[in-house]
């Protein structure tokens, strides 16, 4: 083949350009630490990366939801525990008042104590969490009980999405914990005891003791229910942490360049480029040598 | 043959070799001129009647030009530059969907669904509700600005193509002018190598813009056809223009003189015009359609679920997004419904009026849309559909890059073939220079010998 000067110089320019473009790509990978700097670098990988990112975002959303509802549910659980304590104190008073040797005036003063405990219970039942009144069902802007102990909320379970296809109930309604809907009306029981103490009504007092037992177990059941719901949330949360770890590792595998490989690739290309430049210089100096002496 | 003949022989030889030296000089001068075709002097023995005379004469200049290789060069250049311009045009479309580079729609889509989940956790909170509206607005904004960017890029590609068309018309006029000059020079018996070089170089430039085919007509005139229509015939150039049809697609129109416009778009196969046409009317349109579909699918799924829920005031049936009746143009026009703007209380978190404000069932259902198959006819989740767009534009751009590399390499090969035939080799010219120089010296020696003989002869006859 006949070789012209233009062929040689064009050839050198083309091959240097192609090597420089490879070097440029490799240095971008090494500098950014990413294999995929644009979708066209690896279309299938880029699409997969977008899906993985969406899953990571979704899992983060579930985690945020869990964190956000856990607070109020924990508050509900501890409030119910306090409510149990109040009921236990009331029951102690009731048992004490059942003692036949007690005077009417002593019972009268006990009635006052019961009234105080009842108002304490009312304030517990009207606990407000970050998401409103926690025992009002869906009526989170309305206090669960009126001052007279009438339930103002509803018996609606509030839900949140804590995992894919995993919709959890995130409240315990005051209806179940404190009203006849759960078995016995706690506030009415306390009012009855108060009336019986005021009226020195021995049979009324002993009747309310068994009512208090029922109230205590009803509140304990509600407390247990809150605990179970919290367990479910933390189970879901643990699962999400695992998922996030594996998603993050998949994302890393898809997107990140192996630093050692990226660096050695860059070094290889750099050496190749340097040698090509040296060789080209030699060829060009032959071409440019004065051949017309 | 006498002594006088020897004089003539030496004179012819000196003339012919100095002509050849001149041609060698032209080659050396133009060794790096683009489009220059190597020349050589045609030296022939001189015939004088039917007797052997033995003289030499330079009869002309030979251009080392191969029509076949040149045609392949036009083809290869056209295809390569088509791939280059498509690749370049797609780079800016790809950049709109580069989530690793911080652009892209994955984040606003995730944020929209995530805002619904946050609402489910705390449905009565005004800030959480306002956050739903702002996430919805960001999502709609991202969709419409991406769609607007694609539209802008398509408009840029069109004006780029219009620039290319006027460049083509400029080349056509010049080629026609050179054709006229070449015919004149050849008719006058002059050498037209310089003019031919210039015309061929213009044709090579033209082949970067559009696919070029050349032929010779019955009168021996050059006919240049591009995109299946005649652009130049002899000294007459026609005009190309770029416009759009009723559907907004780019069209290439050819006009002969003041004649009617002919649509030749379907014959366009090479050059920047073909690359721009493909990037604009195939690739960008496909991505825009997918984007429209995604915006429509997400928008209508969210609207349906949102309308089923109840607002804080107990009202129902509110659409979250304002959306057209079909997917066409949905990405460009999607927005938060005007009746919802500034009204976080109208966000429908509850599934019945009775469970307002704490009921979260509808918010849960809205959040669940993130993992439901709501896109592309209920076959994919929104995230999958978006991932498909990313994969699709990536594949298109990668294919364009691949084409650009392969076709570029092919063009280099053809260019090397052309340079092998037509390029100047300075080594060769150096040899030629010595050869013609020696021949010239020898001829002048011949002359001085003849002269010496003549002097001797004249000395003898002196009285």
Query: pLDDT for A131-165, tens place per residue?
Result: 889 999 999 999 999 998 899 999 999 999 999 88
Which residue from B359, B391, B412 is facing A47, i.e. has the nearest CB?
Answer: B391
Interchain contact, B387 vs A48, CB within 8 Å: yes
> CA-CA-CA-CA torsion for A119, A125, A130, A136, nearest 10 degrees?
-130
> Residue B270 has what DSSP assignment?
S
B228: left (phi over 0), alpha (psi -120 to 50) or beta: left
Q: Which pLDDT belongs to residue B101?
A: 77
Q: What average pLDDT score do residues B340-354 get?
A: 93
Query: In the numeric block, which tokens belong to residue A120?
Result: 């304490």
Q: Do B100 and A138 touch (CB under 8 A)?
A: no
Q: Which tens digit of pLDDT belongs to each residue from A93-125? A: 999 988 888 888 889 999 999 999 999 999 999
- Cite the beta strand spans of A109-257 per DSSP E: 128-129, 132-133, 159-163, 166-169
Measure in Å the smallest separation between the Cα of A235 and chain B Cα atoms.
18
Residue B463 has pLDDT above 60, yes or no: no
The two three-digit tokens of residue B83, written as one number: 């791939």
Whole-number pLDDT of residue B1:
61
Interface list for B 121-160 with A (CB within 8 A): 121-125
Residue whose structure tokens are 């006498």: B2
Q: B56 pairs with which residues across the strands?
A: B45
Residue B306 has pLDDT above 80, yes or no: yes
**Cβ pair B140, B335 in contact under 8 A:** yes
Contacts of residues B44-50 at CB distance under 8 Å and 24 or more positions apart, as own/partner, are B46/B12
pLDDT, average across residues B137-149: 95
Is the pLDDT assigned to residue A293 strictly greater than 70?
A: no
Substitution target from B27, B30, B121 for chain A, most A beta carbons within 10 A: B121
Do B120 and A1 make contact, defined as CB atoms within 8 angstroms? no
Please provide residue B430's backbone torsions phi and psi, each rounded to the nearest 5 degrees.
-60, -45
Tell me the residues of chain B between 359 and 398 that have a Cβ less than 8 Å away from chain A: 359-361, 364, 367-368, 370-371, 381, 383-384, 386-388, 390-398
B44 part of contact set with chain A, CB < 8 Å: no
Rounded (5°) CA angle A173-A174-A177: 95
**The pLDDT of residue A215 is above 90:** yes
CA distance B8 to A117: 143
Q: Mean pLDDT, chain B, as a whole number?
A: 93
Pick from A9, A18, A50 the residue to mutate for testing the B interface (most B CBs within 10 Å): A50
End-to-end CA gap in chain B: 26
Give me the pLDDT at residue B48, please: 74
Calculate how close chain A gets to B184, using CA atoms only, in Å.
31
Distance from CA of B254 to the nearest CA of A (A): 36
Pairwise CA distance, residues B378 & A27, whole Å: 42
Q: Do B346 and B340 meet the contact criterion of CB atoms below 8 Å apart?
A: yes
* Interchain pair A39, B391: CB under 8 A: yes
User: Are A35 and A41 a contacting pair, CB within 8 Å?
Assistant: yes
- Of B250, B392, B211, the closest CA to residue A47 belongs to B392
Tens of pLDDT, residue by residue over A38-68, are 999 999 999 999 999 999 999 999 999 999 9
Q: Residue B127 contacts by C-beta under 8 Å, 6 or more apart in sequence?
A: none
Instruction: Determine whether the interchain pair A40/B368 forms a contact, defined as Cβ–Cβ distance below 8 Å.
Output: no
- pLDDT confidence of residue A177: 93
Phi, psi of A35 (to 5 degrees): -75, -35
How far away is chain A from the Cα of B24, in angstroms, using its nearest Cα?
13
Q: Say what percent of chain B tops pLDDT 90.
A: 86
Q: Are B119 and B369 in contact (CB under 8 A)?
A: no
Mark yes or no for CB contact B398/A7 under 8 Å.
no
**CA B405 distance to own-chain centroid:** 13
pLDDT confidence of residue A39: 92
Q: Which residue of A has its CA nearest to B380?
A: A51
Choose the mutation target among A132, A161, A252, A287 for the interface with B, i.e. most B CBs under 10 Å.
A161
Q: Which chain B residues touch A154 with a CB distance below 8 Å?
A: 354-355
B161 closest CA partner among B284, B93, B262, B253: B253
Residue A244 pLDDT = 94
Query: Of B66, B122, B424, B131, nearest to A70 (Cα)?
Result: B122
Alpha-carbon distances of A151 from A90, A144, A218, B73, B350, rounded to whole Å: 21, 6, 16, 90, 21
Chain B residues with CB under 8 Å of A51 CB are: 383-384, 387
Chain-chain contact of B358 with A60 (C-beta, under 8 angstroms): no
Contact B430 A1 (CB under 8 A): no
Q: Which of B354, B392, B426 sits opposite A154 (nearest CB)?
A: B354
Cβ partners under 8 Å of residue A71, min gap 6: A129, A130
pLDDT computed for residue A289 by the predictor:
73
Size of interface A-B (CB pairs under 8 A): 209
Judged by CB atoms closer than 8 Å, whether chains meet at A58 and B415 is answered as no
pLDDT digits over A189-198, tens only?
Answer: 999 999 999 9
DSSP labels, A31-54: HH-BS-SSGGGSHHHHHHHHHHHH
Query: A130 contacts in B (CB within 8 Å)?
Result: 122
Which of B:400-429 have CB within 8 Å of A? 401, 412, 415-416, 419-427
Residue B102 has a pLDDT of: 79
Tokens, residue B263: 């649509």
Instruction: Identify the pLDDT of residue A285.
Output: 85
Q: Say whether B44 sits in a helix, a strand or coil.
A: strand
On the 0-12 / 13-18 / 19+ scale of CB atoms within 10 A, B285 is: middle
Tell me which DSSP letter residue A157 carries: P
Model confidence, pTM: 0.86
**Three-class secondary structure of residue B41 per DSSP:** strand
Q: With contacts defined as CB-CB under 8 Å, which chain B residues touch A11?
A: 412, 416
Rounded CA separation A195/A276 (Å): 103
CB-nearest to A5 from B104, B360, B423 is B423
Q: Go through the domains of chain A in sequence order and give each one's CATH number.
A: 51-251 (1.20.1330.10)
Chain A residues within 8 A of B107 when measuring between CB atoms: 57
pLDDT of residue B461: 64
- Which residues of chain A neighbour B423 with C-beta distances below 8 Å? 4-7
Identify the CA nearest to B271 among candidates B237, B227, B219.
B227
- Kindly state the average pLDDT of the residues A70-74: 93
Q: What are the tens digits of pLDDT across the range B112-129?
A: 999 999 999 889 889 999
Write out pLDDT tens, residues A2-39.
Answer: 888 888 888 899 889 989 999 998 998 998 888 888 99
Quick one: which of A75, A74, A87 has its CA closest to A220? A87
Average pLDDT over residues B257-270: 93
Question: Are the CB atoms for A46 and A36 separated by under 8 Å?
Answer: yes
Q: Select from A37, A51, A159 the Cβ nearest to the Cβ of B101.
A: A37
Place of tokens 């929104």: B382
User: Is the Cβ–Cβ distance between A153 and A137 less than 8 Å?
Assistant: yes
Instruction: Say yes or no to pLDDT of A227 above 80.
Output: yes
Note the pLDDT of residue B459.
81
Which among B94, B350, B425 is the nearest to A40, CB-wise? B94
**What angle do the packed helices B106-121 and B382-422 form, to 10 degrees?**
170
Q: Which residues contact B153 (CB under 8 A, 6 or more apart)?
A: B89, B92, B93, B284
CA dist list (Å): B203 to B62, B216, B222, B415: 21, 14, 11, 14
pLDDT of residue B183: 93
Residues of chain A with C-beta less than 8 angstroms from the C-beta of B123 = 131, 140, 158
Q: Which residues have C-beta within 8 Å of that of residue B88, sequence separation ≥ 6?
A: none
Distance of CA B337 to the CA centre of its chain: 43
Cis peptide before B198 (omega within 30 of 0): no
How far is the first Cα of chain A from the last one, in angstroms, to the nearest whole number? 26
């Amino acid at each position: 083949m006949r070789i012209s000067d233009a062929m040689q110089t064009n050839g050198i320019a083309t091959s240097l350009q192609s090597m420089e473009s490879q070097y440029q790509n490799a240095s971008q990978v090494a500098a950014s630490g990413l294999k995929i700097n644009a979708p066209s670098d690896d279309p299938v990988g880029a699409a997969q990366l977008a899906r993985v990112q969406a899953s990571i975002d979704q899992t983060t959303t579930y985690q945020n939801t869990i964190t956000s509802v856990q607070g109020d549910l924990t508050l509900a659980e501890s409030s119910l525990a306090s409510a149990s304590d109040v009921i236990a104190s009331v029951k102690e008073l009731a048992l004490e008042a059942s003692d036949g040797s007690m005077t009417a005036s002593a019972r009268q003063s006990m009635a006052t104590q019961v009234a105080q405990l009842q108002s304490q219970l009312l304030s517990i039942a009207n606990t407000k969490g970050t998401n409103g009144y926690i025992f009002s069902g869906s009526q989170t802007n309305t206090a669960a009980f009126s001052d007279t102990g009438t339930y103002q909320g509803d018996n609606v379970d509030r839900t949140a999405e804590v995992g894919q296809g995993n919709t959890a109930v995130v409240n315990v309604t005051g209806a179940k914990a404190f009203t006849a809907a759960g078995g016995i009306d706690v506030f009415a029981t306390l009012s009855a005891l108060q009336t019986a103490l005021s009226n020195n009504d021995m049979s009324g007092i002993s009747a309310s003791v068994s009512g208090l037992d029922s109230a205590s177990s009803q509140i304990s059941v509600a407390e247990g229910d809150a605990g179970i719901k919290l367990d479910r949330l933390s189970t879901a949360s643990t699962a999400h942490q695992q998922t996030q770890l594996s998603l993050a590792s998949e994302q890393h595998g898809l997107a990140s360049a192996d630093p050692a490989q990226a660096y050695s690739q860059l070094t290889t290309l750099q050496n190749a480029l340097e040698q090509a430049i040296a060789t080209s210089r030699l060829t060009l100096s032959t071409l440019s040598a004065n051949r017309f002496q | 043959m006498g002594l006088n003949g020897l004089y003539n022989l030496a004179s012819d030889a000196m003339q012919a070799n100095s002509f050849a030296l001149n041609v060698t000089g032209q080659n050396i001068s133009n060794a790096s001129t683009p489009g220059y075709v190597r020349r050589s002097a045609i030296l022939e023995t001189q015939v004088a009647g039917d007797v052997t005379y033995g003289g030499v004469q330079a009869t002309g200049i030979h251009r080392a030009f191969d029509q076949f290789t040149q045609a392949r060069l036009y083809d290869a250049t056209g295809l390569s530059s088509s791939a280059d311009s498509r690749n370049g045009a797609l780079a800016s479309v790809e950049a709109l969907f580069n989530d690793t580079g911080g652009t892209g729609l994955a984040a606003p889509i995730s944020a929209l669904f995530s805002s619904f989940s946050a609402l489910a956790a705390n449905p009565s909170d005004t800030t959480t509700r306002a956050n739903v509206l702002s996430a919805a607005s960001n999502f709609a904004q991202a969709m419409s600005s991406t769609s607007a960017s694609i539209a802008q890029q398509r408009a840029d590609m069109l004006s780029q193509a219009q620039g290319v068309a006027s460049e083509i018309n400029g080349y056509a006029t010049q080629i026609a002018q050179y054709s006229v000059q070449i015919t004149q020079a050849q008719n006058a018996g002059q050498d037209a190598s310089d003019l031919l070089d210039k015309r061929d170089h213009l044709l090579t430039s033209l082949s970067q813009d559009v696919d070029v085919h050349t032929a010779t007509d019955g009168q021996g005139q050059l006919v240049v056809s591009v995109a299946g229509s005649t652009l130049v015939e002899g000294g007459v150039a026609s005009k190309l223009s770029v416009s759009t049809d009723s559907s907004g697609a780019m069209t290439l129109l050819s006009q002969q003189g003041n004649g009617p416009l002919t649509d030749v778009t379907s014959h366009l196969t090479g050059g920047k015009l073909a690359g721009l046409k493909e990037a604009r009317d195939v690739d960008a349109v496909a991505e825009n359609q997918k984007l429209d579909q995604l915006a429509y699918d997400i928008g209508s799924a969210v609207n349906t679920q949102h309308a089923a829920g109840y607002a804080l005031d107990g009202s129902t049936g509110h659409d979250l997004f304002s959306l057209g009746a079909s997917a066409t143009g949905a990405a460009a026009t999607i927005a938060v419904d005007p009746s919802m703007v500034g009204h976080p209380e109208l966000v429908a978190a509850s599934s019945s009026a009775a469970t307002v404000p704490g009921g979260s069932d509808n918010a849960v259902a809205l959040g669940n849309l993130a993992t439901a198959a709501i896109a592309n006819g209920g076959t994919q989740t929104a995230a999958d559909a978006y991932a498909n767009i990313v994969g699709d534009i990536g594949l298109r751009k990668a294919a364009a890059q691949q084409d650009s590399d392969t076709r570029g390499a092919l063009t280099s090969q053809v260019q090397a073939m052309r340079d092998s035939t037509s390029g100047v080799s300075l080594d060769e010219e150096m040899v030629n220079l010595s050869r013609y120089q020696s021949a010239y010296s020898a001829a002048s020696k011949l002359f001085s010998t003849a002269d010496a003989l003549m002097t001797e002869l004249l000395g003898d006859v002196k009285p």
